Structure formats: C-alpha cells, structure tokens
Chain A
Amino acid sequence: MTLDQARIHSLLRILLISDDWATRRSLNQLGLYAGELIHVLRRAPFGGPLVIESRNSRVAISRQLAESIRVEVIP
C-alpha cells in the first residue's frame, strides 16, 4: 500500500520511493529512504497532510506526495 492510506499511529517500513528525481531527492534529504521505519503521528482533516516521524524528526507530507511512497505495516 502507499503511505497516504496508512492509519494514524501505525508503524510502517518504507519499501519504495517514486522514481522521479526531484521527489526522491526531496524525501531523501529529510532522511526518508527505502528501509526506514516511520511512525504516522497525525492526519489533517479534509485530505490534508500527514505528520510522520522517523528517527526523531517530524515531517509534514501531503497526501499527494505520500502516494509516491510504498510502505508495509509492521505489526
């Protein structure tokens, strides 16, 4: 599944990030790589962004961008 479908408070592992150079670059810069664990902290209402935490840093990410991140749920 992609990150935009993730439930709040779920723990996820990033499997794959979109192939687009700029998207991948901007996500990598914030420490988001395939293999990283992320924790979904919040979801804004009305299709707004998600707040995710990875290694102590928090990032707000739009649903649109979240669609370009494939994740798996860590039970």
Chain B
Amino acid sequence: VKIALVGQPNSGKSTIFNAVAGYRSLTSNFSGTTVEYTRGRARISGEVIDLIDLPGLYSLNPANAAETCAREFLLTGDWDVLVNILDASQLARSLELTLELTELERPMVVCLNMMDEATRKGLSIDLKTLNEALDVPVVEAVATRGQGIVETFVAAKELRRHGPRVFSPAFSYAPAVEAVVESLARALVTAGIPDALLESPPRLGVEMGANDSVALQPQVAACAVAAPAAVADLAPRPLKVRFRALQLLQSDPLRVAFLPAATAEPVEGARREMLHATGEPADLVISSARHAACLNLFERVATVSRPHGDWRERVDRWLMHPFWGYVFLAMIFLVFFRLVFDVGQLGEAHILAAFDSLIAYVGRFLAPEGWAFALAKGALLGTAGAFAIVLPYLLPFLVGLSILEDVGYLARVGYLMDAAMHRLGLHGTATIPVLLGYGCSVPAVMATRILTSRRDRFIAGFLAVLVPCSARMTVIMALVGFYLGAYWALGIYVLNLVVVALAGNVLARIWPEVAPGLLMEVPPYHHPAARVVILKTWWRLREFVVIAIPLLVVGSAVLGLVEFLGWQNAINAALSPLTALLGLPAAVGLTLIFGVLRKELSLLMLMQAVGTTNVGSVMTTAQIVIFTLFVTFYLPCLATLATMVRELGRKLTIAASGALLALAIVISLLARGVLHFLL
C-alpha cells in the first residue's frame, strides 16, 4: 500500500512520518528548484506500507516550489491512500486543504493531530459529524506522544481492504460556478489533453542541472517541477477532469499564458465567463466558496469555549517585545554560540590529538621522506580537519538549531529582525543563516533552505559566507588580536559588519526583491521532540559528511603531494602578482591555497611559510592586517563551496566566488592605502 502524507506546514506531519518510518527515511528538505520528498517504509500491524511524506502545503494551488512539488506528486496518482494531517488547534484554516483534497475524489483519511493543543485552546471537535460531512475516516491524534498514529494508518489500510468505493467532493459550488467548471472540463476532454494541469512553467525550469545527481540518489524521489515527461512515466492514474478544471481556473494567470494554446484558450474563456457571471476573478470565486464551506463545516463540528490560561502568550509578551525581545534575542544567541564554541573546542582538542598520534603511527610504516607518507599525511590531515575542526562545532550547532526551530523560536527571530534585514534586501527569516555564519559557513548555507526564493537564498548565502566563521575568527584572534591587540581585532569585525551591510544593499539593488514581503505563520511554542531534533540533526549532518569530507580528504592529500614534490615555489611564483599587489611576502602564496581548504590552516601554514611561529617578527603591522583581511574575505573554504554548489547551484556559486575574490582584493588594497597613510 502506498500512503501519501499531506498537510499544512506545522501540522506535525513529519513527526508522524518519523514516528513510523524513522531513521531509514531520507530528507524532506527542499533545495533550489528540485524538491525532494521523503519516502519510507513502515510495518503497521503486520503489513509493510510505503510512506511518502510531502512538503507542507496550504493549498493545492501554491506559490512556491516545494508546494508545487507536493501537488505534482498528488497529480501523478502514484499513491493509494491519502492521509491528510491537520493541526486540530487550527481547525478552521486546516479544513480548507481538506476540502480541496476531497476534490481529488480518491481514498483519504483525516488525522486530527495536536488534539491536546486544541483542548488547551478551548476547542472541542465533534469527530462523528466531521466524519459524516467529509465521508472519510477521521482519527484523532497527539503525535508527539505517539497517540493515534497507528490508528491513522490502520484506518488507511482498512480503506483499501473494503474494496472500491466512491469518494466524492465534500461540497459543491454555486450552480453558476459549477456550470463554468463543467463546460471547461468538457472542453479539456475534447481538446484531449490529459495532463493539462502540468503547467510546465518555464520560469521554474531553469538551473536544474546542478542538482540532478543528488536527485537521482536511490530512494529520494525528486520531483523536477519542469519535467512533465518524467511525471508521465510514473503511469498516472486518471484524475477526475473536474478537479483539473477547478485547479486550472485557480492558477496564476501568468502561468496559464504559458500553457499550450489548446489548453490556454478554453481556460481563458472559462475565466472570462466566470468574471462575467460573478464579477470576481475565478480563483477568488472558487477559493472564497471553499472558505465559506470550510467555515460552515467548522461551525458544525467545533465548539469554542474559553481557552485555558496560556503561558505562551506571556512568553511572547517578552520574547516579541519591541525592546526586550531584542535583548532576549541577543542573549539566546550569545548563550547558543558560547555553548557551541565550548563543546566544539573540547571536541577539537581531543580529536586533533588522536589524529596527531595516528599520523605519527603511520610514519612508522612509511618512509617519512617518501611520497606515500606525504599523501597519507595529507589525507589524514584532511580527515582531521573534517572530524576535529568542523564536526565538533557543526554537531552542537545543528542540535541547537533544530531545538530552536522545533520550539518555534526561529519564527520569532524572523519577526524581530524583519525590519533590519529589509535594509539588506532580505526578509526576517534570512537572519538565521546570516547569524549562523558566525559559527560555521556550512550549516549557514544549508540554513538558507528556510527561504523560498532563489534570490533570497543567494543573497542570504552570500552574506552568510561573508561573515567570519569560527575558523576565520581563529585567524583574526591569533594574528591580529595576538600581535596587534584586541582593538585591532574588534576593528576587523566592525569593518566586516560594514562590508556585509554594503554588500547586502548592493545585491538588493542588482537583484531587486519580487516577493511582497514577510508573510509567515507564527506557530505556538512546542516542547522540542527529541526524536525530531535527532533526525533533523542527522539529516543535515549526513549531507556534510557525504559532500564535504571526501573533498577535504582528497584536497589535503593533493596538497600533501604538492609539498612533497616541492611545487611550493612554483605556486608562490604563480601567485606573486597577487601577493605583490597586496604588499605581502611571496612566501604566503601557498598559504592562501591552503586557506581554501580550511581557513585556520592558512594560519598554521603562514607560520611554516615565514619560518617562525613569531609572525610579528617577520611581518609588519600592515602586512598582518592585510593578510587577515584577505583571508577573511577572499573565498569560503572547500566544504562551504561544496555546500553552496549543492544549495545554490554551480553558476551562482561561481558568481559568488568571483565576487568574494574581487571584494577581498579591493578591501585589502584599500586597507593597504589607508594603513600606509596611517602608519
């Protein structure tokens, strides 16, 4: 049995999916234009069922890529039963999707999740009436406590067992509307376009290549929005043509224009007819009618009494306060970073020591002068970089992020920071990736996923890598802080903030905002569910392990070989135009290459290159500042670059790298000029 889970965002869909399918499932996050949905297997009372967890969607006629993907999947018909998960505490709004889903006229089970929350809000729901009105099984659940989950899937299985039965829409439209819908449906049949609904909007179809390899991973069923051919391959089961007609009437007029003429003409005609008959645009007529039906149903099944005293409102009074909200924001992130840093440092020291002894151990078997040792040492250093320097910070970081997200705090951050982020051409939600950049650029770039448009993701990702990560902080502290003093180091941070603000401003001008501004649900606070936090962390971590670690190991091995072959001089010579331009010693050329591998490596390599650990004795103040500035800005490390390719695509990554390099050179040159004048 193939069961698809559908629900609005924050309905607890993933909690239910994880509860039964768990660790064997794959990520449900989406990236770029290729949107993935999660598949998993579960055994429910002795029978194996296939589960498909679709991205959350508010309606079947959505605006963003993730939601479009969920819809496309539903249209393939490659599923047997639909499980519609609702946040019972938001019943009025959630029922709108449910009503729309009944228009699919396919087997469906309604799962009323978060019943405890509904009770707290003073909402009592008459399941029997709801069941009769929708004519589908209705199950109540509290997924975070594991209640009602098995019952839901058993109900879904039962639907199959009872053999064929008719499922019909739970409501109908006004006669005038139905008449237009029906004539459009007939026109579509006559035109002989079975998949007229696959709108193939060319706008969404560009830039798919970068993610193709990822999309083809086993089990991850990737839905390429622009590939109707691939969807057709899944052998679609016929969907009711009435449903198609309804959806076409509601879709974006701009997209209808892109449809083949044979489809577009009847649709445009029907829209005009609807406007003529009702005086309102077709999509509004249909969605308003559904909204009215939804409210009607809500009145019939729900009784609202006084909500129980709610501590959440009191919490929000502080956390979303126009003044204290920001104080708490600063404190929460300060504590968060402090914890990540402390845990990371603890891990780093131990793991690095282990790798050092491992390298010494390998040295006993391989001749220290041979190429094999150089290669092995390089590879081990690369592995050490991944496991000792990135992972110890990344892991606590991702755990903390998942907790903040699960609790519901990230939405509050988005609200508080929206005004400030707007100056950078971004929404409040983009605060998170940018702030995360101070920890490690890899999760920061990954965090751009919470943004919906490519533009926002690119700008946020660019700003996130511009912010000095903890590895770059090491360089700033150990070079500028140590040799020139804390105020110089602080100065570099302030300069960085100015650059971030300017870069955001410039990018916002180059690539103007199209989205109409922040619109986001503010979910109630939840207790974090350990299982969800662990799974989210694991998914995010696994991507780092799969993408970044092989690159780090191979890259380090190659650099080990370069050292062994004595190519440093050639590389330094090749980079001498750059180093001379910046007024740096030629010997630092190679360290810049190492810096791409791992930022803090450039520090160690610098000491090796200048032949002393007392850098201050061989480099001038200006040189130290310029070197640090250049290393801070020039290019993100290899692991970050790999993540950027994965998240933003190859082209944008190359564009961002070029821009960063140019920016670093300009800033270093400016610094050179100013310092020459000052010192």
Q: Pick the contact of B415 from A33, A47, A51, A56 — CB < 8 Å?
A: A51
Question: How distant is B8 from chain A, measured CB to nearest CB, in Å?
Answer: 9
Interface assignment of B2: CB less than 8 Å from any CB of chain A:
no
Contact of B58 among A20, A30, A46 (CB under 8 A): A30
Q: How far is the CA of A44 from the CA of B520 in the complex (A)?
A: 14
Residue of A nearest to B326 (CB): A45
A21 touches B253 (CB 8 A): yes
Q: Which of B58, B254, B281, B523 has the most CB of A within 10 A?
A: B58
Once the chains bind, are A31 and B92 in contact (CB under 8 Å)?
A: yes
B522–A62 CB distance below 8 A? no
Give 1 or 0 for each of B511-524: 1 = CB within 8 Å of chain A CB. Answer: 00000111111111
* Interface contact B516-A65, CB-CB below 8 Å: yes
Chain B residues, CB < 8 A from A23:
516
Q: Which residue of B lies closest to A25 (CB)?
A: B63
Q: A60 contacts the other chain (Cβ, under 8 Å)?
A: yes
Q: Is the CB of B61 within 8 A of A25?
A: yes
Residues of A near B650 (CB, < 8 A) are none
Tell yes or no: B90 within 8 A of A by CB.
yes
Interface status of B121 (Cβ within 8 A of chain A): yes
Contact residues, A14-70 vs B (CB, 8 A): 19-31, 33-34, 42-49, 51, 55-65, 68
Which residues of chain B are near A57, meaning CB under 8 Å?
A: 90, 92-93, 521
B287 touches A28 (CB 8 A): yes
Known: A44-B415, A44-B419, A51-B320. A65 touches B90 (CB 8 A): no
In Å, the complex CA distance between A56 and B521 comes to 11
- Assembly CA distance A40 to B420 (angstroms): 21
Instruction: Find chain A residues with CB under 8 A from B520 CB.
Output: 59-60
Contact with A along B46-74 (1 / 0, CB 8 A): 00000000000011011100000000000
Closest A residue by C-beta to B320: A42
| B254 CB contacts on chain A under 8 angstroms | 21
Contacts of B454 in A (CB 8 A): none
| Other-chain residue from B63, B323, B416 in contact with A48 (beta carbon distance below 8 A) | B416
User: Which residues on the A side are within 8 Å of B419 (C-beta)?
Assistant: 44-49
Q: Are B519 and A60 in contact (CB under 8 A)?
A: yes
What chain A residues lie within 8 Å of B63 (beta carbons)? Answer: 22, 25-26, 29
Is B20 on the interface with A (CB-CB < 8 A)?
no
Docked complex Cα distance between A26 and B96 (Å): 13
B288 within 8 A of A: yes
- Secondary structure at chain A's binding surface: helix, strand, loop or mixed? mixed
Residues in A neighbouring B522, C-beta threshold 8 A: 51, 58-60
Q: CB of B283 within 8 A of chain A? A: yes
> Which residue of chain A has the shortest Cβ distance to B420 in the bound complex?
A46
Q: Which residue of B lies closest to A48 (CB)?
A: B419
Q: B residues 523-564 with Cβ under 8 Å of A? A: 523-524
Contact residues, B297-323 vs A (CB, 8 A): 316, 320, 322-323
Query: Min CB distance, A18 to chain B, in Å?
Result: 9
B406 at the interface (CB under 8 A from A): no
Given A22-B252, A47-B419, A64 and B517 touching (CB < 8 A)? yes
Which residues on B sit within 8 Å (CB–CB) of A51? Answer: 320, 415, 522
* C-alpha spacing A26/B288, complex, angstroms: 13
Chain B residue contacts of A20, Cβ below 8 A? 516
- Are A49 and B518 in contact, with the CB atoms below 8 A? yes
A56-B121 CB under 8 A given contacts A49-B418, A49-B428 = yes
Does B586 sit within 8 A of A, measured CB to CB? no
B411 cross-chain contacts in A, Cβ below 8 A: 60
B516 touches A44 (CB 8 A): no
Residue contact B253 to A44, C-beta cutoff 8 Å: no
Instruction: State the Cβ distance, B84 to closest chain A Cβ, in Å.
Output: 16
Q: Residue of B at shortest CB range from A62?
A: B517
Contact of B414 with A by CB under 8 A: yes
**Interface residues in B102-159 (C-beta closer than 8 Å to A):** 121, 123
B512 to chain A, nearest CB (A): 13
Residues of chain B within 8 A of A58, CB atoms compared: 521-524
Residues in A neighbouring B89, C-beta threshold 8 A: 56
| B483 CB to nearest chain A CB (Å) | 39
Task: Say how far A41's CB is from chain B's closest CB, in angstroms.
Answer: 8
B404-453 interface with A by 8 A CB criterion: 411, 414-416, 418-420, 422, 427-428
Known A44-B418, A44-B419: A26·B322 in contact at CB below 8 Å:
no
Contacts of B61 in A (CB 8 A): 25
Alpha-carbon separation in the docked complex, A38 to B245 (Å): 32
Chain A's closest residue to B254 (CB) is A21
Q: Is B284 an interface residue (CB 8 A)?
A: yes
A59 to B521, CA, bound (A): 4
**Cα distance, A31 to B95, chains bound together (Å):** 10
- Chain A residue nearest in CB terms to B321: A42
Residue on B nearest A34 in the bound complex, by CB: B288
* Distance of A58 Cα from B414 Cα, bound (Å): 14
6 contacts between A and B (CB under 8 A): A21-B253, A28-B284, A45-B322, A48-B415, A55-B92, A58-B522
List the 4 shortest-distance A-B pairs measured between CB atoms, nearest first. Answer: A62-B517, A48-B419, A29-B58, A64-B517
Besides A21-B283, A48-B419, 8 other CB < 8 A contacts? A19-B281, A21-B254, A28-B291, A33-B287, A46-B419, A51-B522, A57-B93, A58-B522
